[in-house]
């Protein structure tokens, strides 16, 4: 992990809700929010990992919530309101990814991708909205913020990713639509689109080592990113350092979405990473 030692405390007194906070990018973001002074609630479906992450950080609390379960989300938000009286940040990081060829894709797979990656963010954002708004209206924060996690696949879809990519592209539309509606009440909505990041999710798709090398060679930076590098971006967008940033999508992919990346072309000009 890159050393990103920053001694700032941009989230003192704040409350942050990170869905999918038991793993990968969500867990890294939760750790950073807590290190910068926030009280953090992480949600996920894996109780063992949730308990482990909560116990290794002060001020990180785990709640077993599936983002497709609206009643459970509403109950969690009610609890946050009653306990803390405020909510400053929502990070929609819960997601699932599986590659499936379109021709043989089951309806079940399609729904799984859309329900968790897209509809989950809808449920959590809408459920949390009154509390995000009242935190601003009560003068507790100049603005509150939602950060959605889309993906490189939301911009440029890889083979096998038509369902996942559809959900992630739609999440960009959700970001823009909500950004423009919610800014009036002081809720900023932005999006981060990570490329190849070294997390349990990416190793599930990259597969064997040879495959991983092929992936790496398509990244101009010549390596995978770390979950912590994405977390740093999430915190910046959620912080009061970004008050004029509304509806933005920040791609963190080591340059992978840039055009003209064919390896043969790079060889021709002696430009291998």
Q: Which is nearer to another protein, 85 or 243 (CB)?
A: 243
Q: Which is nearer to another protein, 111 or 262 (CB)?
A: 262
Instruction: Please state, in angstroms and as integers, the Cα–Cα distance from residue 76 to each residue in 12, 45, 115, 165, following that order.
Output: 22, 14, 19, 29
Q: Which is nearer to another protein, 62 or 215 (CB)?
A: 215
Q: Which is nearer to another protein, 74 or 176 (CB)?
A: 176
Site of interaction with another protein (CB under 8 A): 2-4, 6-8, 176, 179-180, 183-184, 195, 197, 220-222, 225-226, 229-230, 232-233, 235-236, 241-248, 250-255, 257-261, 271-273
- Please state the closest distance from residue 194 (CB atom) to another protein, in A: 8
Q: Which is nearer to another protein, 76 or 89 (CB)?
A: 89
Determine whether 246 is exposed, middle or buried from the number of CB atoms within 10 Å of its CB (0-12, 13-18, 19+).
middle
List the one residue out of 67, 13, 63 whose CA is nearest residue 41: 63
Q: Which is nearer to another protein, 68 or 249 (CB)?
A: 249
Q: Can 224 be counted among the known catalytic residues?
A: no
- Please state the closest distance from residue 140 (CB atom) to another protein, in A: 19
Catalytic residue among 11, 33, 62, 164: 164
- Please state the closest distance from residue 264 (CB atom) to another protein, in A: 15
- How far apart are alpha carbons 186 and 120 in whole angstroms? 22
CB–CB of 195/249 below 8 Å?
no
- Please state the closest distance from residue 62 (CB atom) to another protein, in A: 26
- Please state the closest distance from residue 148 (CB atom) to another protein, in A: 14
- Please state the closest distance from residue 55 (CB atom) to another protein, in A: 26
Determine whether 35 is exposed, middle or buried from the number of CB atoms within 10 Å of its CB (0-12, 13-18, 19+).
buried
Six token digits for residue 153:
């696949």
Would you name the residues annotated as active-site residues? 164
């Amino acid at each position: 992990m890159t050393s990103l030692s920053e001694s700032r405390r941009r989230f003192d007194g704040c409350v942050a809700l990170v869905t999918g906070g038991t793993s990968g990018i969500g867990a890294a973001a939760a750790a950073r929010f807590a290190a910068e002074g926030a009280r953090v609630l992480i949600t996920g479906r894996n109780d063992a990992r949730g308990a482990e992450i909560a116990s290794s950080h002060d001020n990180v609390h785990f709640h077993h919530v599936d983002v497709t379960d609206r009643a459970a989300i509403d109950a969690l938000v009610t609890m946050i309101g009653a306990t803390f009286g405020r909510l400053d940040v929502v990070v929609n990081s819960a997601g699932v990814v599986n590659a499936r060829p379109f021709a043989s894709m089951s309806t079940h797979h399609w729904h799984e991708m859309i329900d968790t990656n897209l509809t989950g963010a809808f449920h959590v954002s809408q459920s949390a909205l009154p509390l995000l708004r009242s935190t601003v209206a009560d003068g507790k924060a100049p603005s509150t913020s939602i950060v959605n996690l889309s993906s490189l696949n939301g911009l440029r879809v890889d083979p096998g990713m038509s369902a996942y990519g559809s959900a992630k592209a739609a999440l960009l539309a959700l970001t823009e639509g909500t950004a423009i509606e919610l800014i009036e009440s002081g809720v900023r909505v932005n999006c981060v689109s990570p490329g190849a990041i070294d997390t349990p999710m990416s190793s599930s798709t990259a597969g064997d080592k040879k495959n991983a090398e092929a992936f790496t060679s398509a990244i101009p930076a010549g390596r995978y990113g770390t979950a912590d590098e994405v977390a740093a971006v999430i915190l910046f967008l959620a912080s009061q350092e970004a008050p004029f940033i509304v509806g933005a999508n920040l791609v963190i992919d080591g340059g992978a979405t840039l055009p003209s990346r064919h390896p043969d072309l790079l060889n021709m000009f002696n430009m291998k990473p």
